[in-house]
A and B are shown apart, each in its own frame.
Chain A
Amino acid sequence: EVRLLESGGGLVQPGGSLRLSCAASGFTFSTYAMTWVRQAPGKGLEWVSVINDSGSHTDSADSVKGRFTVSRDNSKSTLYLQMNSLRADDTAMYYCARIRVVGAEPFDFWGQGTLVTVSS
């Protein structure tokens, strides 16, 4: 059974940093691209970042470019999102999701999310 378990969310002050993790199981992690999607309270889904299977290619939304960095450790089957210079509008539930390859593929499995709140 495919499982994705996010962790690392919490309350952080504006300008602060946080690192999210997504532990994967039930599939061969190193053969799938992975992505982060967020959802502000009461709002819709917003794509954040994607990373290919080897970690050699990443891409991020303009809203987080230069502040967020996606990475992965295939030996630990874990995806990460390093978030720096956090702002109030980064407050959201952050989901990791699996995608077969970077491109037009669907996000076929999602984790339950971890909540990030940016507030003083």
Chain B
Amino acid sequence: SYVLTQPPSVSVAPGKTARITCEENNIGSKSVHWYQQKPGQAPVLVMYYDSDRPSGIPDRFSGSKSGNTAALTITRVDAGDEADYYCQVWDRTSDYVFGAGTKVIVL
């Protein structure tokens, strides 16, 4: 089955940059989407098709993909960015797959 590997947590100081990775051997052939989930809230789409940003999402959020790794980068991090972030792909045999999630901790 298809497994997306994310680090459990990323710690970042306010004003700095957080980079959340999502790894899989064949991720280069997949479209990667990213969701933000704050405590007690539903997930929100923050990036789709690797690097497209939905309307209403600040341009501090950006997406990229290279080799076996997709990444969500948040610049000028503030306390409001503290959340769990999930990557997700669709695979013809595994259907919809989520990574295990990365908790972004703002120090």
Spell out A's residues near B (CB within 8 Å).
35, 37, 44-47, 50, 59, 61, 95, 97, 103-113
A44 to B103, CA, bound (A): 11
Spell out B's residues near A (CB within 8 Å).
30-31, 33, 35, 37, 41-45, 48-49, 54, 84, 86, 88-90, 95-101
User: B43 to A45, Cβ gap below 8 A?
Assistant: yes
Least CB separation from B52: chain A residue: A106
- Contact among B41, B48, B100 with A106 in the assembled complex (CB-CB below 8 Å): B48
A72 to B33, CA, bound (A): 25
**Overall SS of chain A's interface:** strand
User: B95 to A45, Cβ gap below 8 A?
Assistant: no
A105 to B99, CA, bound (A): 16
Least CB separation from B42: chain A residue: A110
* With A59-B95, A95-B42, A106-B33 as contacts: A44 and B100 at CB distance below 8 Å: yes
Complex contacts, A45 vs chain B, CB 8 Å: 35, 37, 43, 86, 88, 98, 101
Complex contacts, A113 vs chain B, CB 8 Å: 42
* With A44-B86, A45-B86, A103-B90 as contacts: A108 and B54 at CB distance below 8 Å: yes
A104 to B44, CA, bound (A): 17
User: B48 to A47, Cβ gap below 8 A?
Assistant: no
Interface centre among B30, B35, B96 (most CB of A within 10 A): B96
- Contact among B31, B95, B98 with A50 in the assembled complex (CB-CB below 8 Å): B95
